Chains A and B, each alone.
Chain A
Amino acid sequence: MQAEANWFRETFESVRREVAQSVVGQTDVVEGVLAGLAANGHVLLEGMPGLGKTLLVRTLSEALHLGFSRIQFTPDMMPADVTGTQVLGENRAFEYRPGPIFANIVLADEINRATPKTQSAMLEAMQERAVTAGGKRHLLPEPFLVMATQNPVEQEGTYPLPEAQLDRFFLKLIVPYPTKAELAEVVLRTTSREATPTQRVATEADVLRMRTIVRSVVVDDDVMNFALGLVVGTHPDGPGATAIAKRYSRYGASPRGAQSIVTLAKVYALLVKRQNASKGDVLRALKPTLRHRVLLNFEAEADGITADTFLDGVADQVGKEDRDPVRI
């Protein structure tokens, strides 16, 4: 297992290094996307336009030598534009023409601009990893990763993803603005020299192997209880509800949230060549996996409580209750 963990770490690092050749900075986002890929989970990116989201996905697909497609969602887009459609073929028979979702890595750009109908079709395909058209079920390729983006500023003419849909995303990553140094590097790379072609550093099989390794990471009872305590701690009521959740939470994280936090913690453990997840890993996985799964109430909004600050509060309270079992 240690060898597997080492291989995981090396492969992960090599992909990251290769992506870093093209994408400047955004290390957490890159790591999160790679973690989503390794954990077999879809990623929701939230950030302003022009921060390199498309570049990241494209580079990633190139580094892994995976199929890539980009869907720019608009209000007039129909579900068939995403999943594919039946067309009359040359032999005068209907044949299925796959939509852009049939790729290993799909960038669903500004998904909140699509109508709920289209969003629903997209998210159903994400969940089922298959598309049904003309009564026939078409499996999506493996590995399959959707990276959806949302523009947090422009709210006019958008259809915010409902909570049930958001829950289908494994992670939600916030794409920050680059720092001044990073920005300088971006400007330098794009204005003074040719872009370096991305090398293939891993294969489709490697991704599948990484997923197997992630599953084998040990999560002991102590860590599991801690992770579940955090998830339950987001609920506004119930025996494990924290004080902050009772005050600010409308809905807490779902069971998918518990699955996600533990899985991401496993990935983080492997990144440090550890064969077991720790509470530190769980805490690190808390915000990316749960920030889109908690729905805060009006009081939270009035008090300026964001999902991240709310989760910090939950972590703080659950951490206080998680005392050293040896009382000294």
Chain B
Amino acid sequence: MLDLSRFARRVRAVRAWIGAAMGVSIAGILATAWEILDWIGRADASAIGIAIALGVGAIIGAIIGALLPLPEKALRASVDRRGSLENRLTASSADVPFADEIRADAAAHLAEVRPRQIYPMRFGRWQGTAIASAFLASTVFLLGSTPLLLSPEAKAAREEMAKKAKVIERVTKEQFETPEAQKEMTEGERRLLEEARRLQRDLEKGRMSPEKAMQKAHELQKKAEDLVKQAARDSQKSLDQAETATEKMERAELEKNGLGQVDPQLLQMPQGQRDELKAKNAEQQKQLQKQLEAIDKRLAEIAKRLANKGISDAERKALEQERKSLEEQKKALEAEMKAAQQLGDALKLSDQARAVLDKMRNHELMKEIRALAEKMAKANQQANQTGRPPFTKEQLAEMKAELEKLLAKLKDDKAMEEYLKQMIEAMKNGQKCQGSCLTPGGLGMCLASLLGIKGNPGVGDDGFFLDTGHVNKLDKPAAGQGKTFETQISGARRETGEETFVEIKAPTTIGNRSAVPYRSVLPSYEKKAEQALGRQEIPKEHEKRVRAYFESLTKG
């Protein structure tokens, strides 16, 4: 058999060359489609991405081309045809007596054929298509990315947006793209981060007006606040669990000291109240004792007089009645006395328990833990109310480290260990809502401030008319005849937030009542408003507000 390996190698090389061109052509078309999607805001194309797409297309095409099957028979026929060998190669496989001669003849002619002559690497239609396709992709990308075609104002606005996008990028990179942050991020945070990045890309590419960007920033801020509140609630839950763990721990300590029967109410009673109760109890006991002693004395006297036989029946009867009454009183006082003594005992027991608990609570480590828990609870309360975190990330890390240190010290005590674990859990939850510009909440505030919103933006009760958009006054204020003032302002506000208005001046007198009663003009104003709604001058989302306003006036 004739050796055609050098031709096979050449064919594979040429196929790879064509395959690469085909790959670039297809990749170029796909890249163009990608850029068009980028234009309409459905995808994010980048120069590197496009270059990679073209490169990958070329490589895949080349590999596929090189690996396409190349049957020996087909190669023989092809070399025969292209090398003008007059079917010597195809005939060389014939089973004839003089096959060797035919093969030798074929080999002699084949030796004169060079692979590169019959399989040249031409610059053909596919290469042309590849260049055209890559050129198209590059052109579309440059047209979409270059600010050359923009007006100076639009260019400046875009540059401003791009700067803000850079800041968002920096913040998200610094705070969220660390391994630690990635590990601890929740699903909600991921979504928020994704939206922030999308906003950043939209700003970079100038796909968003400043008004839209600010609206979006507000949305993100709201979401971030919700996340912070949720995290605060989670943290509080953990703290509550930690509190339950503390109670369990204290109860165990009391039982260990034989104080398991202590009244929880007395134990939890404030010290002043307890002292007062104790004093009252002592006084009560004292009074009761005195009363009992007086009764006993009187009863003794009665008994003595009854023993005297010289008393009349009526007197005897009266004494016996008195004795009976006193005995009943004594019984009642004794019961009271017993109760007072029991309370006194309980108070004594609670004092002992208190002493035990105080001893435990006054432990230095425990004090520190409690202080942290209180701090955390306060922080959670604040975060839940405002949606903004009180601690920096560093502060939280410090607190967490401190707790872990305590845990290490107290790990032999199971109840304490459980408590501390719950505290650390609370800290972890709390960490999700910490840090200005560092966490979801911070990111929302950060976005708002980046886009020019300071503090809590001027959101209306119904969420309309944020301080966004431009206000264009269409006429120049001109003084009317006489004492004229603005009596009416008409205008429209577009979906983009842009607002135009006209000041209408009419002759009025300062300090006097309006010449036309308000109720007389209200129907016409209402009609005008309805017409404006009909003409779609009023943004759809504000129609409800306008109607509600006029309805409220009519009702009044």
B82 touching A221, Cβ below 8 Å:
no
The stretch of A121-129, A158-166, A272-280 in contact with B is A272-280
B98 touching A1, Cβ below 8 Å:
yes
A220 touching B87, Cβ below 8 Å:
yes
Given A222-B77, A274-B105, A276-B102, also A328-B15 (CB < 8 A): yes
Closest to B94 in A: A218
- Interface footprint category on B: 20 to 34
Apart from A216-B96, A222-B77: 4 A-B pairs, beta carbons within 8 A: A220-B91, A276-B87, A325-B71, A326-B78
How far does the alpha carbon of A167 sit from the alpha carbon of B84 in the complex, in Å?
33
Contact partner of A326 (CB less than 8 A), chosen from B70, B96, B101, B105, is B70
Minimum Cβ distance to chain A for residue B119 (Å) = 7
Closest to B82 in A: A324
B86 proximity list for chain A (CB < 8 A) = 269, 272, 274, 276, 278-281
A2: interface (CB < 8 Å): yes
B81 proximity list for chain A (CB < 8 A) = 324
B73 proximity list for chain A (CB < 8 A) = 325
How far does the alpha carbon of A236 sit from the alpha carbon of B14 in the complex, in Å?
40
How far does the alpha carbon of A280 sit from the alpha carbon of B80 in the complex, in Å?
12
A326 touching B75, Cβ below 8 Å:
yes
Contact partner of A278 (CB less than 8 A), chosen from B74, B78, B87, is B87
Closest to A280 in B: B86
How far does the alpha carbon of A2 sit from the alpha carbon of B96 in the complex, in Å?
13
Residues of A in contact with B (beta carbons under 8 Å apart): 1-2, 216, 218-223, 269, 272, 274-281, 324-326, 328
B246: interface (CB < 8 Å): no
Given A218-B102, A275-B98, also A328-B91 (CB < 8 A): no
B119 touching A275, Cβ below 8 Å:
no
Minimum Cβ distance to chain A for residue B354 (Å) = 97
A328 touching B11, Cβ below 8 Å:
yes
B127: interface (CB < 8 Å): no
Minimum Cβ distance to chain B for residue A189 (Å) = 37
Minimum Cβ distance to chain A for residue B117 (Å) = 14
B18: interface (CB < 8 Å): yes
Closest to B93 in A: A220
How far does the alpha carbon of A314 sit from the alpha carbon of B76 in the complex, in Å?
26
Minimum Cβ distance to chain B for residue A232 (Å) = 20
Minimum Cβ distance to chain B for residue A324 (Å) = 5
Minimum Cβ distance to chain B for residue A327 (Å) = 8
A274 proximity list for chain B (CB < 8 A) = 86, 88, 105
**Which residues 56-94 of B sit at the A interface, judged by CB distance below 8 A?**
70-71, 73-75, 77-78, 80-82, 86-88, 90-91, 93-94
How far does the alpha carbon of A223 sit from the alpha carbon of B94 in the complex, in Å?
12
The 5 closest A-B pairs by CB, nearest first: A276-B91, A1-B98, A325-B74, A278-B86, A326-B78
B11 touching A326, Cβ below 8 Å:
yes
Minimum Cβ distance to chain B for residue A226 (Å) = 9
B78 touching A223, Cβ below 8 Å:
no
Closest to A226 in B: B87
Mask: chain B, 1-23; 1 = CB below 8 Å from A; 0 = not? 00000000001001100100000
Minimum Cβ distance to chain A for residue B70 (Å) = 7
B98 proximity list for chain A (CB < 8 A) = 1-2, 216, 275
How far does the alpha carbon of A328 sit from the alpha carbon of B11 in the complex, in Å?
8
Given A324-B81, A326-B74, also A220-B90 (CB < 8 A): yes
How far does the alpha carbon of A222 sit from the alpha carbon of B74 in the complex, in Å?
10
How far does the alpha carbon of A243 sit from the alpha carbon of B75 in the complex, in Å?
30
